[in-house]
Amino acid sequence: MSDILSDIFETIRLRATLYFKTNYSPPWAVTVPQYKEAARFHLVIQGLCHVELASGKQTTISPGDLILIPRGQQHTLADQQGRAPAPLEQVIQQSGFKDDGSGTATFTVGSGDPNAATQMVCGHFSFAKGADHPLLRALPDIIVMTPADRARHPILDETLRLVIRRVFAHNLGATAAISRLSEVFFIETIRASIEQSPELARILEAMTDKQISRSLELIHQNTNQAWTVESLATEVGMSRSRFAERFSKLLGDGPMGYLTEWRLQQARSMLSEPNTNIQQVANHVGYQSAAAFTRAFAQKFGAPPSEYRQPGNH
């Protein structure tokens, strides 16, 4: 499963950015804007934080709790439910907060009792424009990991503790270390959160199922091969009908649908690199014709490969 996950996150270009620590004195409430290709996270170090999504879903997190909002939905953070929030950008301007680029700057609001302030580490994981995969679609609107949850998943807990130590250490190289460690804890958070999402549990089951995971490995390792349902079923030792049924049940799409989507995701990733030849990309992901590739790519991403690769489009 680890190789498949690594391939997925590399292709969707998962990148972590830790942008500030908070020190919010009550009363306070801010609205964090939508950021489509992102997963935002907030880890409470001290105090309480009430979180409410635009959809109405809400929860309150306390010291040691980590909340991940996978699809970058707009949400409100407040010291308690019912506060009238201000837009984040407005609060940043009024507070005079300046991000020094180190990822360890403190965003202070108010000047009340420091022992009553809410202190958090906040950041986000970004994905490339157009990045898509059944794994991303299966993520719940909110993932909350408590200290008790982390205790059951030692790798997640240890990684998160390392991130926090780096955030508060201000050591040389802290920013690079935080970014890489944060990517690990995003992956481990997904592993640990399957109890919160039956859909996610099915996707991860596919990656551990002996035969379905093998078919995914074949697709990911040999994307340009002319796979059929029959050939994949034969490779993993299943009947065509049983293989197609189980694959669809776990992944939410049939083998050929998954193959097509993965080919286009790989192509999108390759096109973000400079000096990439469109015909070579088409051949690499299994299209013999550049014209057929262009049609499929434009249908998926809303623009042909030649336009997609232009600066500012990804």
57-90: pLDDT as tens digits:
999 999 999 999 998 899 999 999 999 999 999 9
| Residue 300: pLDDT over 80 | yes
Whether the bond between 27 and the residue before it is cis, its omega within 30 degrees of 0, is yes
Question: 240 is written with which tokens?
Answer: 């065509």
Between 160 and 309, name the one with better pLDDT: 160
pLDDT at 115: 83
pLDDT at 101: 52
Q: How many CA atoms lie within 13 A of 253 on its CB side?
A: 15
Pick among 1.25.40.10, 3.30.70.1140, 1.10.3720.10, 1.10.10.60: CATH of 209-308 = 1.10.10.60
Quickly state the pLDDT bin for 123 (edges 50, 70, 90).
Answer: confident
Decide if 215 contacts 235 (C-beta within 8 A): yes
> By mean pLDDT, which of 152-161, 173-182, 275-284 is the weakest?
173-182
pLDDT at 191: 87
pLDDT at 178: 75
Q: How many angstroms separate the CA atoms of 263 and 41, rounded? A: 30
| Residue 273: pLDDT over 80 | yes
> By mean pLDDT, which of 12-26, 34-48, 91-105 is the weakest?
91-105
| Residue 194: pLDDT over 70 | yes
Domain extent listing, the chain: 2-202, 209-308
pLDDT at 173: 66
Rg (CA), the chain: 22
Quickly state the pLDDT bin for 37 (edges 50, 70, 90).
Answer: confident
Between 219 and 186, name the one with better pLDDT: 219
| Residue 304: pLDDT over 60 | yes
Fold entry, domain 2-202: Jelly Rolls (2.60.120)
Query: Which own/partner pairs from 296-304 qualify as long-range (CB within 8 Å, at least 24 positions apart)?
Result: 296/260, 296/264, 297/264, 297/267, 297/268, 300/130, 300/261, 300/264, 301/130, 301/264, 301/268
Q: How many angstroms separate the CA atoms of 154 and 150, rounded? A: 6
pLDDT at 58: 95
CA distances from 212 to 147, 202, 282 (A): 33, 12, 26
Quickly state the pLDDT bin for 228 (edges 50, 70, 90).
Answer: very high
State the chain's mean pLDDT as an integer.
89
Residue with tokens 């490779």, as numbered in its chain:
235
Q: Whole-model pTM? A: 0.85
DSSP 267: H
- Coil vs helix vs strand at 152: coil
Most confident segment among 16-25, 70-79, 148-157, 243-252: 243-252
Q: What is the mean pLDDT of residues 99-126?
A: 79
pLDDT at 177: 78
